[in-house]
Amino acid sequence: MSSPAALALLTDGFGRVAETVTTLVTGASSRVLSYRPDEASNSVAWLVWHLSRVQDDHLADLAAVLAGRADPAEAGEHRIPAGQLWQQGGWATRFGLPYGPHDTGYGHASGDVAAFSATDGELLAGYHAAVHGATLEIVGSLTEPDFTRVVDRRWQPEVTAASRLVSVLNDTTQHAGQAAYVAGLAERSHG
């Protein structure tokens, strides 16, 4: 696949996630955004925050490796990528969540999800829009050789930029779909 085609597909895919997020949270009530079908379920707001955090975290790391500011992560290494908008853009402060400053929601248990308190649709939309803008900048800067560069050595096979981008797009698409489903349940449960 040529770079222009790959760039167009990635831009379109991440754009569709951004459209879904905007549609879900714009004008949504706090009740809908915080609704959980049961105590083991995720809310719309948590899902949107989580998909945005993972996209922010993973693409900041990818960009750092491709720019030569970081080496690919090695087996057993846990690192916090520099360049995340969550910290640098002040979003962590604005959200005021009871999680660590580098938390992405990965591995959250039911109690962690229950503690999620950010049910302001404009705040959620704003953070995702900022992450989406950064994503488009990163995607737009990719060259053909970038796609095959290893960005993470913690997995077998090692993760290339192309596989990381597809993985993040897949993850965000799934979470956006889950959020849409939960929002539909919320609407039906309260008439």
Whole-angstrom Cα distance, residue 32 to residue 5?
38
Q: Residue 30 has what DSSP assignment?
A: H
Mean pLDDT of 1-6: 78
Mean pLDDT of 48-59: 98
Predicted pLDDT of residue 78:
86
Q: Residue 73 has what DSSP assignment?
A: B
**pLDDT above 90 as % of the chain:** 93
Mean pLDDT of 101-105: 94
Whole-angstrom Cα distance, residue 190 to residue 129?
29
Which two tokens mark 29? Answer: 């009530």
Q: Band the pLDDT of 44: cuts 50, 70, 90.
A: very high
Q: Quickly list H helices, the chain.
A: 3-25, 30-34, 44-66, 85-88, 91-95, 110-114, 121-140, 161-189
Chain segment 54-102, per-residue pLDDT in tens: 999 999 999 999 999 999 999 989 888 999 999 999 999 999 999 999 9
What Rg do the C-alpha atoms of the chain give, in angstroms?
A: 17
In the 3-class helix/strand/coil scheme, how is 96-129 assigned residue by residue? CCCCCCCCCCCCCCHHHHHCCCCCCHHHHHHHHH
Which two tokens mark 47? Answer: 């899902």
* Torsion sign (Cα): 115, 117, 119, 125: negative
Q: Is the pTM of this model over 0.85?
A: yes
Mean pLDDT of 38-50: 97
Mean pLDDT of 7-12: 97
φ, ψ dihedrals at 159, nearest 5°: -90, 120
- Res 132 pLDDT > 70: yes
- Res 1 pLDDT > 70: no
Predicted pLDDT of residue 191:
56
Omega cis (within 30) before 157: yes
Mean pLDDT of 39-47: 97
Predicted pLDDT of residue 179:
98
- Res 2 pLDDT > 80: no
User: Are 124 and 29 a contacting pair, CB within 8 Å?
Assistant: no
Domains and CATH numbers, the chain: 3-189 (1.20.120.450)
Q: Band the pLDDT of 134: cuts 50, 70, 90.
A: very high
